[in-house]
Amino acid sequence: GNSVTQMEGPVTLSEEAFLTINCTYTATGYPSLFWYVQYPGEGLQLLLKATKADDKGSNKGFEATYRKETTSFHLEKGSVQVSDSAVYFCALSGGYSSASKIIFGSGTRLSIRP
């Protein structure tokens, strides 16, 4: 079945550092890929998405490119801020059917030092 694997955390960086959080997936067909974020004390919310190979999703300075050849969807940001401290979840849906469930990775906790 479909699955998502994320790099384990926690990840601790200094402000203005470059961020990469790795995500790889296993799926049949052509899934859609997502990054969700959970800020402290809040619910999960969509950060960005990509629906087909080579698409780049972007939001709030974060980017991720859908790489079908490497089955990856790594999250990157060029200069992180303290306010980016949160838990980040990679997720996928679909495959051959658009009516498929959305499954999540285990999450990566990010802490940014001032």
Partner 1 sequence: DTGVSQNPRHKITKRGQNVTFRCDPISEHNRLYWYRQTLGQGPEFLTYFQNEAQLEKSRLLSDRFSAERPKGSFSTLEIQRTEQGDSAMYLCAGGRLDTGELFFGEGSRLTVL
Q: What residues line the site for partner 1 (CB under 8 A)?
A: 32, 34, 36, 42-46, 49, 51, 89, 93-94, 98-99, 101-107
Q: How far is the CB of 93 from partner 1 (least distance, A)?
A: 6
Q: Which is nearer to partner 1, 2 or 72 (CB)?
A: 2
Q: How far is the CB of 26 from partner 1 (least distance, A)?
A: 15
Compute CA distances 3 → 23, 27, 72, 91, whole Å.
11, 7, 12, 9
Q: Which is nearer to partner 1, 36 or 73 (CB)?
A: 36
CA distance 32 to 51: 4
Q: Which is nearer to partner 1, 15 or 101 (CB)?
A: 101
Q: Which residues pair with 32 in a beta bridge?
A: 93
Q: How far is the CB of 42 from partner 1 (least distance, A)?
A: 8
Q: Which is nearer to partner 1, 62 or 94 (CB)?
A: 94
CA distance 8 to 38: 16
Answer yes or no: are the C-beta atoms of 23 and 108 closer than 8 Å: no
**Residue 58, both tokens:** 């972007």
